[in-house]
Chain A
Amino acid sequence: MANVNTFRESTRAWLEANCPPSMRQPIVDFEDRCWGGAKWKFVSEDQRRWLDVMAERGWTAPDWPSEYGGGGLSKEESKILREELYRIDARTPLFSMGLFMIGPAILKYGSEALKRQHIPDIVKGKIWWCQGYSEPNFGSDLAGLQARCEDKDDHYIINGQKVWTSYADRADWMFCLVRTDPDVVKHAGISLVLFDMNTPGVSTKPIKLISGKSPFCETFLDDVRVEKNQLVGELNKGWKLASYLLTHEREMIGNMGQAAASAKTLHQHATDVVGLENGVLNDSALRTDIARWEIDSKAYELTAERIRDETQAGQGTGATSSMLKYTGTEINKRRHELMLGIYGQQALGWEGDMFAGGTMASQWLRTKGNSIEGGTSEIQLNIISKRILGLGATG
């Protein structure tokens, strides 16, 4: 316990000295959250410094091995660091697909050379990763994907099209699911490869969403050359990695609402806008809706915590990421519907300073995609039915 206490004290002191005050303010705009990457424009010198000092200690990836630039912290120490960051409302220094998705996959399945090449850059936020999964005809039915990857002796050539590639126009590298064997059942002929988005033959086209924003692109792959050492794991065993990555993605998407919710509670918004009378919100129907949402939101947080604790204690049912993804995204959608209920037409303003450029409406609309991306709510319910409840055609 002594070491733990020392670690907490030294961490607290270090954060106090190194986390700039502006990095303790709530995240408002997309760019307030640092995604890193070669093309990243830091919103402030503080944002750059905060990333640099944290990355230097490996604390952007606290529990990754220090030999690849990670923090090398134990679970207990990582938890203390999280708590201390939370205590001062520090923004996460780096939020990236590298950290949440491809990094863990490379650490688990990648070759030593791949780890040495990619992990330190992920920790430092130098590379913006995007994922090449969905294709125009293969969304929920992901394993049917057709992007063809042919063996050309000393390299691969890829031809095909990806869609819903997050920020492909800003990304530096892609981790991409490709078909390496077209003659076997669909799950058995898939591989995971990595390539630079500047490779000749890679082109992107943004997709405009109902929110007015374009966070996703179509990505076209025409005779794209990929080096053989950029294959992650074994050839034709990519579906296992895809499942692993989808699990991470589900957890990340399920959690997104919580990060946003922590800035200001729904009832604080309501209190500011609707007002209290004798300490009670001046709209009893809204009050009940908010209370029900806050109870569900807290229940979701506690469930994520309980499942982590159960895993650590070697208990639990497993296969819970689908349940967390389903509940987390549905709860987040409800949150934004309630924001509309609180702010009324103010939340539906689309243009101009009066409506902060339509931020609230845009965010509300964006959440509608949460229960589609990373496997729809219906796919998650299918997974729960089959894998956890054992319900199926044959019983």
Chain B
Amino acid sequence: MALVLNEEQQMLKESARGFLQEHAPLAQLRRLRDERDAIGYSAESWAQMVELGWAGILVPEAYGGLDFGHVGMGQIMEENGRTLTASPLFATAILGVSALVLGGSDEQKKTLLPAIVEGSLTLALAVDEGPKHKPAQVTMTASKGGAESNNLKLNGAKQFVADGHVADKLIVSARTSMRSSAHSSTHSSAAPDDNDGISVFLVDRDAEGVTVERVMMADSRNSAMVTFDNVVVPQGAMLGQAGKGLALIEGLTDIGNAHLAAELLGISLEVFERTVQYMQERKQFGVLIGSYQGLQHRAAHLFSEIELTKSVVIKALQALDEKLLDKKTLDENSDAASLLCSMAKAKASEVAALATNESVQLHGGIGMTDEYDMGFYMKRARVAEHMLGDQRFHQRRFAALSGY
């Protein structure tokens, strides 16, 4: 497949840019932050996004969606990186939808996907139990719920759950098999039984025993710590097969990271363009600072790094679409797409860190002020990097998938 957008994808990108710049610019996030908004995003903007069909971009047509694919959604995420719009787009329309598409029963898809498409349901992925993404490190348990044998009881805690304090339902990983919990903390790929016995559940956020504590992150977006104390869920709340949850989470990791990489690319592009523009306006010693070769070369290097990033991002998004087209199931080895998604996240994270650091440095003092926007991009770039694995996580994953 040619590494370019087709006409429809290009149109979506342009309309996304138009909408976000006009209706949900960075000033909106700044306002939400300053007002300590209770839900942390603009419900009105989200309703407009739903209206535009964005909640259903990854939803198959049979369930009321647009089935427009990951390359299309990736363009919205890239544009979102320019405006830093807070919304349920990532947690619900990308991770939530993908969890249902990859793991949901027909019944679950039929009830939940149309609700997402029409904007009446939001989800949040709760898989991490510490500050770093370690999907196999699960100590949370799902045990038989006593006499009512079809029910399960969840006990444990999840951390850094994006949208966790507002989402209607949480997608939670827990151990359904007890034997391996003892040695799960050392190496994510150490012993095979570490990876068995994890299952994924859909849990109502307001279910009895669920406690949600909102936490404020540097990027001013939603995050939460969630504890589960004897939370009773029916067997039907399980997403995918019992004990096969890790494969589902790996699939979501691929998808989530390709889209985070697209967002990080958007951040890099935005701060880069603003910085080059600033270099063409700001004068010191009587000349434009952009005339200094010491600064020109840093900008040109950054340009080159961003060009490399564009290529790995579009390739990863295309790989996800091709994988869907191939109708591959989760059990089939999908290393090629995983490799490309990890590659995209590793590179996009590295370059977004470079871009945001350079943008502050090249702006000088004004780049350090809260009034100027540069800091927002730097903060979001780091949070987005660390969600679902930072650059080092993905370098290691790339190596492991390559056989070393």
B298-333 interface (Cβ within 8 A of A):
299-301, 303-304, 307-312, 314-315
Query: Are B343 and A298 neighbours in the complex by a CB distance under 8 Å?
Result: yes
CB contact between A295 and one of B3, B300, B346 (< 8 Å): that residue? B346
The dominant DSSP class at the A interface is helix
Query: Are B395 and A291 neighbours in the complex by a CB distance under 8 Å?
Result: yes
Q: Residue A395 at the B interface, CB < 8 A?
A: yes
Q: Residue B402 at the A interface, CB < 8 A?
A: yes
CB contact between B309 and one of A299, A313, A391, A392 (< 8 Å): that residue? A299
B4 CB contacts on chain A under 8 angstroms: 306, 309-310, 313, 315
Query: Are A281 and B399 neighbours in the complex by a CB distance under 8 Å?
Result: yes
Query: Are A303 and B346 neighbours in the complex by a CB distance under 8 Å?
Result: no
Bound form: Cα–Cα A320–B304 in Å: 9
Query: Are B400 and A323 neighbours in the complex by a CB distance under 8 Å?
Result: no
B398 CB contacts on chain A under 8 angstroms: 291, 294-295
Q: Among the listed stretches B130-138, B175-183, B286-294, which one makes contact with chain A, having 4 or more residues with CB under 8 Å of it?
A: B286-294
Counting chain B residues whose Cβ lies within 8 A of the other chain, the interface size class is: 35 or more
CB contact between A290 and one of B296, B392, B399 (< 8 Å): that residue? B399
Q: How far is the CB of B160 from chain A (nearest CB, A)?
A: 24
CB contact between B404 and one of A281, A298, A378, A386 (< 8 Å): that residue? A281
Q: Residue B31 at the A interface, CB < 8 A?
A: no
Q: How far is the CB of A208 from chain B (nearest CB, A)?
A: 31
CB contact between B307 and one of A303, A312, A313 (< 8 Å): that residue? A303
Q: How far is the CB of A102 from chain B (nearest CB, A)?
A: 28
Residue from A303, A309, A380 having most chain B Cβ neighbours under 10 A = A303
Bound form: Cα–Cα A391–B278 in Å: 11
Q: Residue B297 at the A interface, CB < 8 A?
A: yes
Q: Quick one: closest A residue to B292, CB to CB?
A: A391
Bound form: Cα–Cα A378–B300 in Å: 10
Query: Are A312 and B2 neighbours in the complex by a CB distance under 8 Å?
Result: yes
Bound form: Cα–Cα A312–B311 in Å: 16
Residue from B303, B308, B347 having most chain A Cβ neighbours under 10 A = B308
Q: Residue A278 at the B interface, CB < 8 A?
A: yes
B311 CB contacts on chain A under 8 angstroms: 299, 302-303, 305-306
Q: Knowing A299-B311, A306-B4, A392-B291 touch, does A327 contact B304 (C-beta < 8 A)?
A: yes
Query: What sequence of 0s and 1s flags, for each residue 23-61 of chain B, a beta carbon within 8 Å of any chain A beta carbon?
Result: 000000000000000000000000000000000000000
Query: Are B297 and A385 neighbours in the complex by a CB distance under 8 Å?
Result: yes
Query: Are A391 and B343 neighbours in the complex by a CB distance under 8 Å?
Result: no
Q: Residue B146 at the A interface, CB < 8 A?
A: no
CB contact between B300 and one of A280, A381, A392 (< 8 Å): that residue? A381
Q: Quick one: closest A residue to B398, CB to CB?
A: A291
Q: Knowing A278-B190, A279-B403, A310-B4 touch, does A395 contact B288 (C-beta < 8 A)?
A: yes
B293 CB contacts on chain A under 8 angstroms: 382, 385
Residue from A312, A381, A394 having most chain B Cβ neighbours under 10 A = A381
Can you list 22 pairs linking A and B with CB atoms under 8 Å apart?
A279-B404, A288-B395, A288-B396, A294-B402, A302-B311, A302-B312, A305-B311, A306-B310, A306-B311, A309-B2, A313-B2, A326-B300, A326-B304, A327-B307, A384-B303, A385-B299, A386-B296, A388-B303, A389-B290, A390-B280, A391-B295, A391-B296
Task: Show the binding face of A for B, using Cβ within 8 Å.
Answer: 267, 270-271, 276, 278-281, 287-288, 290-292, 294-296, 298-300, 302-303, 305-306, 309-310, 312-313, 315, 320, 323, 326-327, 378, 380-382, 384-386, 388-395
Q: Across chains A and B, which 10 residue pairs bring their CB atoms closest together, nearest first?
A: A385-B296, A302-B311, A384-B300, A306-B3, A299-B308, A391-B290, A309-B2, A381-B300, A303-B311, A291-B395
